[in-house]
A and B are shown apart, each in its own frame.
With several copies, the nearest count.
Chain A
Amino acid sequence: MNFSLTEEQQMLADSVRRWVRDGHDGEARRRDKTRRPLDAALWRQFAELGWLALPFAEDDGGLGGGPVETLVLMEELGRGLVVAPYVPTVVLGGGLLRRAGPAWRERHLPALIEGRLQLALALDEYERVFAPENTALTATAEQGGYRLDGRKALVLNGDQADALLVLARTGGVPGDEHGLSLFWLTPDQDGVSLAPHRTVDGHTAAKLTLERVHLPAEALVGEPGGALAPLRATLDEALLALGAEAVGALSVLLDDTVEYAKTRRQFGVPIGDFQALQHRMADMFMALEQLRSLLLAATLKVAEGHADARRAVHALKARLGLDGRHLAQEAIQLHGGMGMTDELAVGHYFKRLTAINGLFGGADAHLAAFADA
Chain B
Amino acid sequence: MDLTIPDHEQSFREEVRDFLARAMTPEIREAGRLTTSVFAPVKQAMDWQRILHEQGWAAPHWPREYGGTGWSVGQRTVFAEELVRAGAPPLIPMGLQMCGPCLIGYGTEEQKAHYLPRILSGEDIWCQGYSEPGAGSDLASLKTFAESDGDHYVINGTKIWTTYAHHANRMFLLVRTRRDGKPQAGITFLLLDMATPGITVEPIVGLDEVPEQCQVFFDNVRVPKANRVGEENDGWTVAKYLLTFERGGQDYAPGLGVQLEQLKARARRQATATGSLADDPLWRRQVADCETRVLALSFTEQRIKSALSAGKDPGALSSMTKILGTELQQRVTELAVDTLGAQALLWQPGALVPGGGEAPLGPEYALTTMASYLNARACSIYGGSNEVQRGIIAKAVLGL
Verify whether A and B have any Cβ pair under 8 Å. yes
Asked whether, in the complex, the Cβ of B160 is within 8 Å of the Cβ of A337, the reply is yes
Could you tell me which A residues sit within 8 Å of B by CB distance? Answer: 1-6, 9, 68, 124, 126-131, 133-134, 136, 153-154, 174-175, 195, 197-201, 205, 207, 258, 261-262, 265-268, 272-279, 281-283, 285-286, 289-291, 293-294, 296-297, 299-301, 304, 306, 312, 314-315, 318-319, 322, 325, 329, 332-333, 336-337, 339-343, 347, 350-351, 354-355, 358-364, 367-368, 370-371
Interface size class of B (residues with CB under 8 A): 35 or more
Partner of A370, one of B269, B291, B362: B291
A260 to B293, CA, bound (A): 29
**Would A262 and B378 be within 8 Å (CB), given that A175-B274, A197-B361, A207-B362 are in contact?**
no
A1 to B78, CA, bound (A): 13
**Would A275 and B296 be within 8 Å (CB), given that A1-B74, A154-B342, A265-B134 are in contact?**
no
Chain A residues closer than 8 Å to B39, beta-carbon distance: none
Q: Besides the contacts A1-B5, A124-B342, what 6 more A-B pairs have beta carbons closer than 8 Å? A: A3-B306, A153-B343, A154-B343, A299-B1, A333-B380, A337-B136
Chain B residues closer than 8 Å to A265, beta-carbon distance: 134
Asked whether, in the complex, the Cβ of B348 is within 8 Å of the Cβ of A198, the reply is yes
Residues of chain B from 300 to 355 with CB closer than 8 A to chain A in the complex: 300, 302-303, 306, 310, 317, 320, 323-324, 330, 334, 337-338, 340-348
Partner of A351, one of B207, B289, B306: B207
CB-based A-B contact count at 8 angstroms: 273
CB distance from B298 to the nearest CB of A (A): 8
Partner of A291, one of B138, B287, B296, B390: B296
Which B residue's beta carbon lies closest to that of A3?
A: B306
A184 to B185, CA, bound (A): 72
**Would A278 and B295 be within 8 Å (CB), given that A129-B341, A333-B381, A362-B338 are in contact?**
no
Asked whether, in the complex, the Cβ of B271 is within 8 Å of the Cβ of A293, the reply is no
B397 within 8 A of A: yes
**Shortest beta-carbon contacts, A-B, top 3:** A175-B273, A278-B394, A293-B299
Asked whether, in the complex, the Cβ of A174 is within 8 Å of the Cβ of B342, the reply is no
A135 to B42, CA, bound (A): 42
Partner of A336, one of B1, B136, B281, B400: B136
Asked whether, in the complex, the Cβ of B161 is within 8 Å of the Cβ of A354, the reply is no
Chain B residues closer than 8 Å to A127, beta-carbon distance: 269-271, 363
Asked whether, in the complex, the Cβ of B400 is within 8 Å of the Cβ of A293, the reply is no
Chain A residues closer than 8 Å to B340, beta-carbon distance: 358
Asked whether, in the complex, the Cβ of B320 is within 8 Å of the Cβ of A367, the reply is no
Could you tell me which B residues sit within 8 Å of A by CB distance? Answer: 1-5, 74, 131, 134, 136-138, 141, 160-161, 204-207, 209, 213, 269-274, 277, 280-289, 291-293, 295-300, 302-303, 306, 310, 317, 320, 323-324, 330, 334, 337-338, 340-348, 361-363, 370, 373-374, 377-378, 380-382, 385-387, 390-391, 393-395, 397-400
Asked whether, in the complex, the Cβ of A279 is within 8 Å of the Cβ of B390, the reply is yes
Chain B residues closer than 8 Å to A281, beta-carbon distance: 394, 398, 400
**Would A290 and B381 be within 8 Å (CB), given that A2-B1, A342-B206, A343-B204 are in contact?**
no
Asked whether, in the complex, the Cβ of A359 is within 8 Å of the Cβ of B323, the reply is no
Asked whether, in the complex, the Cβ of A362 is within 8 Å of the Cβ of B341, the reply is yes
Partner of A354, one of B270, B337, B348: B337
Asked whether, in the complex, the Cβ of B393 is within 8 Å of the Cβ of A286, the reply is yes
Which B residue's beta carbon lies closest to that of A372?
A: B284
Which A residue's beta carbon lies closest to that of B277?
A: A129
A2 to B271, CA, bound (A): 44
CB distance from A280 to the nearest CB of B (A): 9
Chain B residues closer than 8 Å to A6, beta-carbon distance: 1
**Would A368 and B282 be within 8 Å (CB), given that A4-B1, A153-B342 are in contact?**
yes
CB distance from A50 to the nearest CB of B (A): 20
Chain B residues closer than 8 Å to A124, beta-carbon distance: 341-343
